[in-house]
Amino acid sequence: MTRSRTTLLLAAALAFLTPSTTAHAEPAPLAVTDPGFEMGGTGWEFTDGTGVAVNNPHAGSRLAYLDAGSGMTVSQTVTATGGGSYLVSAWIATGGPGGRYVLRVNGVEAAARTLPAAANYRRHTLGRITLAPGDRLEIAFASGQGWINVDDVMVSPAAPADPRVSSSDPEVAAMFDWAKGKAGSWVHLPGTRGPLDADERQTGGTGTGVYAPSYWAGYANRSGYYSRDTAHQLAGAGVLGLHAENREMLRAFAASATAGHAYYPVWALNFDNRTPLSIDYRGPSLFVREVPAPFELVQKAEEAYRWSGDPAYLDDPALWAFYRHTTEEFVTLHDGQKDNGPVKVAEGTGRGIFQGTASYDEQSDEPLTEAGDAIASQYQAYRAMAALARAKGDRVTADLFGRRARDLKRYFNSTWSGTGSGADMVRGYTTDGHALTGWGKENSWFMPMKGIIDPGARREAYLDYIDAQAEGDGRPDNIEALTYLPDTFFAGNRPDTAWKWMRRVYAQKDVQHVNSRQGTNGDYPEVSFTLVAQTVQGLMGVTPDAPARTLTTQPRLPSGMDWLSVEDLRVGDSAFTLRHDTDRRSTLTHTTGTAAYTWEARFPGAHAAVAVDGVRRPARTEVVDGVTYTVVRTRVAPGRTVTVEVR
């Protein structure tokens, strides 16, 4: 393909983009000069025994090095032009222990880390550092017993929320603390200038751009975020209060889902929130696209609305058009190979990711036209569309998509998934109409995770099957696939199994990722964001509804965990402290807010009575997705603490 032809294709492809607001954005209030040392170390100070080299860059073509020994430093001092709290990260490789990574504010050490011996690059983060305008921040790397390589320094704004977890089990507290800090380090400071289209083929990118509100969601060696990763990381970002980033990233995907793209959003975007990441985009008819992704983005937009209470999710024309196009035209355009009777099911081509694949399972060579993860995600998109329309006051649309969701689920359970159980349940169809059973990774575990399988013995058998396969020869090699398993088992009300998989993922955080350019497993952003969400939404059973000022909780503590608490749990403009003591007592404190919340406290099982702040009440039970709960609803005003206990 000639260069001029490529230029023409990209010009046509970029026609969907909204006018840039980042080109004239204010500069970042804390900007590091030459963070990747590509300008030869401009802005940095080097002592003897240090400098810039080209032998082992993390990205681009250059890095900073420090020889082994004592007394050598590489440092830069920057002046804050605005106030705020910040995290500072750097990719560091070491030939021995004893080096140090240090932040100083106005000459006083504010944070430091002694570096371990690790020859492969790892990402190290320091902060939260609070600065006032005019404060001077020094970023310094000091030598140790072995050589040190440093690259790609990054400044992040501290997340608006700072949730803190404590528990009778110290592992969950340590896990959450690590995950919170790591997830926060992936957030971009708006106004920062950085590379565009960086990937393993063009490590320095093809130029630079001004970054908009966004966070890393995908490989750490690529300068962009992916629709699939964004969908899975959004809940964790919501726990951290990253509502502006969630909204702007979702809106960027929404704007790309044009008729010219057959209503697919692009697969990945640069951090400018405008341009497609070039490794996955070759033109408007040749880009990576997978059927579950647009449906997941609709579902997650509704979830972001519940976390934030932001009316933009209802009022923004680009977002609303995306919801409608995804659940209407997208389904119609991509339904034509398999006859599903009166029910429409979006399909893939069976020809690979650049032609539109039915499943997230990219390692499979099955020519899928319909897949379990796609139909299950479509079901949740219908439910989300109904909820969003109801919130908007559009009862006709809400009722329409409520019916479509119910019809699709009924068809799935009566016809699409066959009559088998466990390994014999259908989880996809090939382009020639052949039904597939057995292990399909994403197109297996997405079905119970998205709630499309009816409750009962068949679903329980399928959960058993998923757990056995993920433990055995069918286990995925990549850590990001395993991050879905806790969600799957929390959705199936199996906290012991979900906690097992959370611990398994966390235990592998320092293992080298199967993609060597990515770094360690823990440096894959999805790992930290999902562990944050799985602690709060999974173990603590938090379901927010900021627009309705309602908070639902359900203790899902695994065996041996006596109590679990989270402070600074942000929902809308309120903050809470929530504690569960086993599965029989919950305490909620509304620490800050402008109005009372309705707290719906759920407890598994049917109990004879409940007590609210010690006052006995008759018990009320409800069945939710096949599970019986004792439910209490009570108002919790700002400043008030309420304890609910089942007896």
Judged against a pLDDT cut of 90, whether residue 14 lies above it is answered with no
pLDDT per residue as tens digits for the range 386-420 = 999 999 999 999 999 999 999 999 999 999 999 99
Closest CA to 123 of 172, 175, 183, 170: 183
Q: What is the C-alpha to C-alpha distance for residues 128 and 2, in angstroms, rounded to an integer? A: 48
Judged against a pLDDT cut of 60, whether residue 17 lies above it is answered with no
What's the confidence (pLDDT) of residue 393? 97
Higher-confidence residue of 410 and 515: namely 410
What's the confidence (pLDDT) of residue 516? 82
How does 521-548 read in b/e, with b if 16+ C-beta sit within 10 Å?
bbbbbbbbbbbbbbbbbbbbbbbbbbbe
What's the confidence (pLDDT) of residue 25? 66
Looking at 12-21, 121-130, 498-507, which range is the least confident one?
12-21
% of the chain beyond a pLDDT of 90 = 93
Question: How much is the average pLDDT of 578-600?
Answer: 98
pLDDT per residue as tens digits for the range 40-58 = 999 999 999 999 999 999 9
CB atoms closer than 10 angstroms to residue 35: 24
Question: How much is the average pLDDT of 487-514?
Answer: 97
Token code pair at residue 337: 């190979």
The DSSP bridge partners found for residue 578 are 566, 588
Strands (E), 67-107: 73-79, 84-94, 100-105
pLDDT per residue as tens digits for the range 239-298 = 999 999 999 999 999 999 999 999 999 999 999 999 999 999 999 999 999 999 999 999
Mean pLDDT of the chain: 95
Judged against a pLDDT cut of 50, whether residue 7 lies above it is answered with no
Whose tokens are 């100083």? That residue is 104
pLDDT per residue as tens digits for the range 167-185 = 999 999 999 999 999 999 9
Judged against a pLDDT cut of 90, whether residue 618 lies above it is answered with no
What's the confidence (pLDDT) of residue 18? 43
pLDDT band at 20 (very low <50, low <70, confident <90, very high): very low
227: Cβ contacts below 8 Å, ≥ 6 apart: 253, 265, 266, 267, 268, 293, 294, 296, 297
Give the total residue count for the chain.
647
Question: How much is the average pLDDT of 306-323?
Answer: 98
pLDDT per residue as tens digits for the range 107-134 = 999 999 999 999 999 999 999 999 999 9
Give yes or no for a contact between 110 and 148, defined as CB atoms under 8 angstroms apart. no
pLDDT per residue as tens digits for the range 551-560 = 999 999 999 9
CB atoms closer than 10 angstroms to residue 122: 20
Judged against a pLDDT cut of 80, whether residue 423 lies above it is answered with yes
Question: How much is the average pLDDT of 636-641?
Answer: 98
How does 562-584 read in b/e, with b if 16+ C-beta sit within 10 Å?
ebbbbbbbbbbebbbbbbbbebb
What's the confidence (pLDDT) of residue 3? 33
What's the confidence (pLDDT) of residue 345? 98
Question: How much is the average pLDDT of 448-473?
Answer: 97
% of the chain beyond a pLDDT of 70 = 96
